[in-house]
Amino acid sequence: MKLRVFVTLKTGVLDPQGEAVRHALGALGFEGVNGVRQGKMIELDLAETDPEKAREQAHAMCEKLLANTVIESYHVEHA
């Protein structure tokens, strides 16, 4: 079963990469971009066939490795 995990910085956590992208977009002529938040997408291909169990595994992976839950939030969806 394929799942996608989206990890982003929590609201209020500074995002220097997002700010660099926002600045670069302005330099390229894209005006009106007030903010950019950058994150990551991780695609998992799990052997588990039960959708609920696969989601539970993905959440456990996020809590233990894929996301720094102190400063990042995540959500899981089916691919």
Per-residue pLDDT at 42: 98
| Residue span of the structural domain in which 35 resides | 2-78
Please state the domain count of the chain. Answer: 1
**In the predicted model, what is the mean pLDDT of residues 54-79?**
98
Give this prediction's pTM.
0.88
Provide the 10 A C-beta neighbour count for residue 66.
19
Which residue do the tokens 């991780």 mark?
A: 42
Question: What pLDDT score was predicted for residue 38?
Answer: 96
- Tens of pLDDT, residues 1-19: 999 999 999 999 999 999 9
* End-to-end CA separation in angstroms for the chain: 8
Please state, for a pLDDT cut of 70, what percent of the chain lies above it.
100
Cα separation, 3 vs 14, in Å, equals 28
Q: Residues 21-33: what's their mean pLDDT?
A: 97
CATH number of the domain bearing residue 33: 3.30.1280.10
